[in-house]
A = this chain, B = another copy of it.
Amino acid sequence: MHMINRDVMTNINAENDHIAMHVNEYLKRKGIFTVNVMGAPGAGKTTSLEHLIKLLKAPCYVVEGDIESDIDTERLRAEGILASQINTFGACHLDAPLLHNAVHAMTLEKPGFLFVENVGNLVCPAEFSIGEDIKMLQVSVADGSDKPYKYPLAFEKAGVILLSKIDLTPYLDFDEDFFLKGVRHLNPNVPVFKVCGKTGEGYAEAAKWLAERAGK
A interface residues, Cβ below 8 angstroms from B? 1-4, 8, 12, 15-16, 40-42, 66-69, 71, 88-92, 95, 97, 119-124, 127, 140, 142-144, 146-147, 149-153, 165, 167-168, 171-172
Cα-based distance from A89 to B153 in the complex (angstroms): 10
Contact of A142 among B89, B90, B142, B146 (CB under 8 A): B142
Contact of A168 among B97, B142, B143 (CB under 8 A): B142
Closest CB in chain B relative to A139 CB, distance in Å: 9
Contact of A122 among B69, B91, B121, B165 (CB under 8 A): B121
Docked-complex contact A42 and B142, CB < 8 angstroms: yes
Cα-based distance from A89 to B143 in the complex (angstroms): 20
Contact of A67 among B42, B67, B68, B151 (CB under 8 A): B151
Cβ-closest chain B residue relative to A89 = B2
Check A150/B95 contact, CB under 8 A, given A12-B3, A40-B41, A171-B167.
Answer: no
Closest CB in chain B relative to A141 CB, distance in Å: 9
Cβ-closest chain B residue relative to A47 = B144
Chain B residues with CB under 8 A of A69: 146, 149-150
Cα-based distance from A142 to B1 in the complex (angstroms): 28
Cβ-closest chain B residue relative to A44 = B144
Chain B residues with CB under 8 A of A95: 3
Cβ-closest chain B residue relative to A146 = B71
Contact of A1 among B42, B92, B147, B153 (CB under 8 A): B92
Closest CB in chain B relative to A63 CB, distance in Å: 16
Check A165/B142 contact, CB under 8 A, given A2-B90, A2-B91, A4-B4.
Answer: yes
Check A92/B140 contact, CB under 8 A, given A8-B4, A69-B149.
Answer: no
Check A150/B71 contact, CB under 8 A, given A42-B140, A124-B123, A142-B140.
Answer: yes
Check A151/B12 contact, CB under 8 A, given A40-B40, A92-B1.
Answer: no
